Amino acid sequence: MSSAQEEAGGERSLLLAYIRAARGALAELGPNHLRVERLPSAANEIGMIVETTESAANLIMDAADQILNLPADTEIQAYRAIVEEKCLAMLEACAFQDLTGQRSTKVIETLLHIEDKLGKLAALVGDDEEPVVQPRDERAGDDVLLNGPSMPGEGVDQDEIDAMFA
Amino acid sequence: MAVARDLPILIVDDYRTMLKIVRSLLQQLGFTNVDEATDGQSAYAMISGRDYGLVISDWNMQPMTGLDLLKRVRSEPKTAKLPFIMVTAEAKAENVVAARQAGVNNYIIKPFTQAVLKQKMSAVLGEI
């Protein structure tokens, strides 16, 4: 066997080993498991968070409305009993924070799982440098202004807005 | 002169919970003549059919956003001067600038209190 053939054989072995490792990393990522189970489950959790918070907000608002709209001539003992009952209902409804917190934790776990597996895959294929170019925002016109609630420290507060209207 | 408590007000938000909150806050301020819409398109249809004294609108809605609604309202001679307050979670300076350029009368960041709503309504309509 010539030295050129030996060199080619060595390179082929390296390439095969690389492909096997990449396949292993992809298998560990479990794309089908993610697609069929974890991502739909995370989407369901988020849907439940929206539903739970809406339900709790409605319950709290209804209780507050009922207190605010009690007739002015309500006898004091009856007034107290209704206020206590409605306040208790509001306190109970605030349990949504616990429920949504737990659901959020599940979603965060899924995201961390994906981040971990993608990090390993990126390292294997040599894509482990910080991206230099940010993904391009494909939106145009007024659509670029829609970004939802700001994170703490971003955006302007009501006082700054008031100053712009002064 | 105090603002008439029977002033017709249209509130626009795609979250029914927010509609309920704003309606309740307005009710506590004495305003009970309140209509609701859940997107810009239906809001515009309602504005075309009734003389509202104030529109309080969210921004981030589909298919027509609050900003699109504002621009459309300002483009019609009949509604060009209709008082319009944006109530939104969009809190970037460029959002406020864009809304101002489109002719919004005031801008409230979510979450907000009844005191803030009353203050901004007073700034737009006169003392409440």
Domains annotated on chain B, with CATH:
9-125 (3.40.50.2300)
Q: What percent of chain B has pLDDT over 90?
A: 81
Q: Which residues of A touch B20 (CB under 8 A)?
A: 57-58, 61
Half-sphere exposure of residue A128, counting CA atoms within 13 Å on the CB side? 9
Task: Write down the domain spans for chain A.
Answer: 10-126
Pick among A145, A151, A160 to test the B interface (most B CBs inside 10 A)? A145
Residue B100 has pLDDT above 80, yes or no: yes
The neighbouring-strand residues paired with B10 are: B35, B55
CA distance B121 to A68: 22
CA distance A86 to A60: 8
CA distance A120 to A87: 51
Whether the CB-CB separation of B123 and B54 falls below 8 Å is answered with no
- Tell me the average pLDDT of chain A: 87
3-state secondary structure at position B24: helix
Taking the mean position of all CA atoms in its chain, how far away is CA B15? Answer: 14
Cβ-proximal residues to A28 (8 Å cutoff; 6+ apart), any chain: A117, A120
Which residue of chain B comes nearest to A63, CA vs CA? B24
Q: Which residues of B touch A (CB under 8 A)?
A: 15-17, 20-21, 24, 28, 59-60, 65, 67-68, 89-98, 100, 106-110, 112, 116, 123
A 122-161 residues inside an 8 A Cβ radius of B? 142, 145-150, 154-158, 160-161
Tell me whether residue A147 is exposed, middle or buried, using C-beta atoms within 10 angstroms of its C-beta: 0 to 12, 13 to 18, 19 or more.
middle
Instruction: Report residue B16's pLDDT band, with 50, 70 and 90 as the boundaries.
Output: confident
Q: What is the largest CA-CA distance in chain B?
A: 38
A 47-66 residues inside an 8 A Cβ radius of B? 54, 57-58, 61, 64-65
Q: Which residues of A touch B70 (CB under 8 A)?
A: none
- Strand ranges inside A77-140, DSSP E: none
Instruction: Report residue A1's pLDDT band, with 50, 70 and 90 as the boundaries.
Output: low
The tens digit of pLDDT for each residue in B52-87 reads: 999 999 999 989 999 999 999 999 999 999 999 999
The tens digit of pLDDT for each residue in A6-65 reads: 888 888 888 888 888 888 877 877 888 888 889 999 999 999 999 999 999 999 999 999
Sheet hosting strand B54-57, strand order edge to edge? B34-37, B9-12, B54-57, B84-88, B106-109
Pick among B61, B87, B105, B109 to test the A interface (most A CBs inside 10 A)? B109
Pick among A51, A144, A165 to test the B interface (most B CBs inside 10 A)? A165
Cβ-proximal residues to B116 (8 Å cutoff; 6+ apart), any chain: A158, B108
Q: In the prediction, which pLDDT does A138 show?
A: 83
CA distance B49 to B61: 21
Whether the CB-CB separation of A42 and A106 falls below 8 Å is answered with yes
Q: pTM of the full predicted structure?
A: 0.73
Residue contact B109–A157, C-beta within 8 A: yes
Residue contact B60–A146, C-beta within 8 A: yes
Whether the CB-CB separation of B59 and B65 falls below 8 Å is answered with yes
Tell me how close the Cα of B107 comes to any Cα of chain A, in angstroms.
Answer: 7
